[in-house]
């Protein structure tokens, strides 16, 4: 991303996000205008870019947003995940219908792949079933949590026809038979526009089917899907480091005796960034390499947010303090599918 574009991004963050961060955290405010502004200013555009170029640029958007508010950065990630589905579908009609509006932020979208990712890892049963019918499929079942949704938003999902066949589709939230119930009872990240989605014989026309081979399609898109998550943790980690540096001289410099110091955390961030550079220098993105970096980032984020709490002391223990917000964001990131335990099982099981 050029210096000029980075400056534009920072301006949007300053004007459209920073004034609302506390409201996002304490009142479950959804920063929809911020997301739409990013699209309007071309930050989701893949035009005249290689796949690696637009992924790297969009990772910067996620990281810079996460430094200020990881809840909203998570919403950005949800939209980028949905963009990844549409960018990679072989259904040209669907791509032509949705991609321009998604990249311009005219349509926002979420990702319903938490359950399918766990299903393919052998951790859960698939929650949605699909019955072939004339012109498409009827879908039934419940997805407990899908984020970055709204009345005019879309989201991706996977449904099983039988044990061996699954389809992946994308659907608008206002479709007949689809009911959304907002969820705002989480420890944090309540401003992520998260809903339980109940399908009752919802008709999905063939035009909304991303792939008839969901497993193969997910294997194709999951490297980008996962890569976009890594800057969520890096952004929170870097914000935690900055918060530690601000308070380093308080109480006569007593913080110097704590085990985790900014320099230690910075070294680990640099190590992760070098690993990402190596990954992107190859011919294609390797899923297991990315998964290993996501796992390392998850543990580093937990370490950084806890260190920030200790360095900030009683000031961090206030419920709506930035340090306590980042602590909750860190635990959310650790449990974002694929979770730490999912990654550990996959890489070390």
Q: Are residues 260 and 337 in the same domain?
A: yes
Q: For residue 173, give the CATH number of its domain.
A: 2.40.110.10
pLDDT score, position 248: 85
The residue assigned the tokens 């909203």 is 72
Q: Band of the pLDDT at 73, cuts 50, 70, 90?
A: very high
Q: How far apart are CA 205 and CA 139, in angstroms?
A: 11
Q: Are residues 145 and 170 in the same domain?
A: yes
Q: Is residue 224 included in any domain, yes or no?
A: no
**Predicted confidence (pLDDT) at residue 28 exceeds the cutoff of 90:** yes
C-alpha separations of 38 from 16, 42, 44 in Å: 10, 6, 7
Mean pLDDT of 209-222: 97
Last residue in a domain, options 85, 103, 121: 103
Q: How far apart are CA 45 and CA 254, in angstroms?
A: 48
CA dihedral 225, 230, 232, 237 (to 10 degrees): 170
Mean pLDDT score of the chain, rounded to an integer?
A: 96
Q: How far apart are CA 232 and CA 329, in angstroms?
A: 9
Mean pLDDT of 287-311: 97
Q: Is 0.85 surpassed by the pTM of this model?
A: yes
Last residue in a domain, options 103, 119, 147: 103
Q: Band of the pLDDT at 3, cuts 50, 70, 90?
A: confident
Q: How far apart are CA 99 and CA 165, in angstroms?
A: 26
Residue 179's domain comprises 109-214
Q: How far apart are CA 281 and CA 320, in angstroms?
A: 41
pLDDT digits (tens, 9 = 90+) for 81-134: 999 999 999 999 999 999 999 999 999 999 999 999 999 989 999 999 999 999
Q: Band of the pLDDT at 78, cuts 50, 70, 90?
A: very high
Mean pLDDT of 144-151: 97
**Predicted confidence (pLDDT) at residue 349 exceeds the cutoff of 80:** no
**Predicted confidence (pLDDT) at residue 155 exceeds the cutoff of 80:** yes
pLDDT score, position 213: 98
Q: Are residues 326 and 343 in the same domain?
A: yes
pLDDT score, position 252: 77
pLDDT digits (tens, 9 = 90+) for 61-70: 999 999 999 9
Q: What angle (nearest 5°) sits at the alpha carbon of residue 155, between those of residues 151 and 160?
A: 130
pLDDT score, position 250: 79
């Amino acid at each position: 991303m050029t210096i000029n574009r980075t400056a534009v991004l920072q301006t949007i963050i300053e004007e459209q996000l920073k004034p609302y961060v506390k409201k996002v955290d304490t009142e479950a405010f959804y920063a929809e205008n911020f997301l739409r502004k990013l699209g309007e200013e071309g930050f989701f555009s893949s035009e005249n870019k290689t796949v690696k170029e637009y992924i790297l640029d969009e990772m910067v958007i996620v990281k810079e947003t996460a430094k200020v508010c990881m809840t909203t950065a998570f919403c950005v990630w949800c939209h980028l995940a949905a963009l990844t589905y549409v960018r990679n579908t072989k259904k040209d009609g669907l791509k032509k219908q949705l991609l321009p509006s998604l990249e311009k932020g005219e349509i926002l979208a979420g990702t319903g792949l938490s359950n399918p990712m766990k299903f393919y890892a052998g951790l859960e049963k698939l929650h949605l079933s699909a019955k072939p019918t004339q012109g498409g499929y009827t879908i039934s079942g419940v997805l407990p949590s899908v984020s970055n949704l709204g009345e005019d938003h879309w989201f991706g999902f996977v449904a099983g026809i039988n044990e061996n066949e699954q389809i992946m589709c994308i659907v608008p939230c206002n479709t007949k038979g689809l009911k959304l119930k907002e969820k705002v009872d989480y420890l944090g990240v309540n401003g992520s526009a998260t809903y339980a989605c109940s399908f009752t014989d919802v008709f999905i026309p063939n035009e909304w089917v991303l792939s008839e081979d969901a497993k193969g399609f997910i294997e194709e898109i999951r490297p980008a899907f996962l890569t976009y998550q890594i800057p969520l943790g890096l952004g929170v980690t870097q914000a935690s480091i900055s918060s530690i540096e601000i308070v380093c001289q308080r109480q006569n410099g007593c913080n110097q005796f704590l085990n985790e110091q900014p320099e230690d955390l910075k070294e680990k961030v640099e190590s992760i960034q070098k690993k990402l550079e190596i990954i992107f220098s190859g011919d294609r993105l390797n899923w297991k390499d990315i998964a290993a970096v996501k796992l390392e980032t998850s543990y580093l984020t937990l370490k950084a947010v806890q260190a920030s709490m200790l360095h900030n002391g009683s000031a961090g223990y206030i419920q709506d303090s930035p340090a306590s917000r980042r602590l909750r964001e860190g635990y959310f990131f650790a449990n974002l599918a694929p979770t730490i335990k999912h990654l550990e099982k996959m890489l070390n099981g």
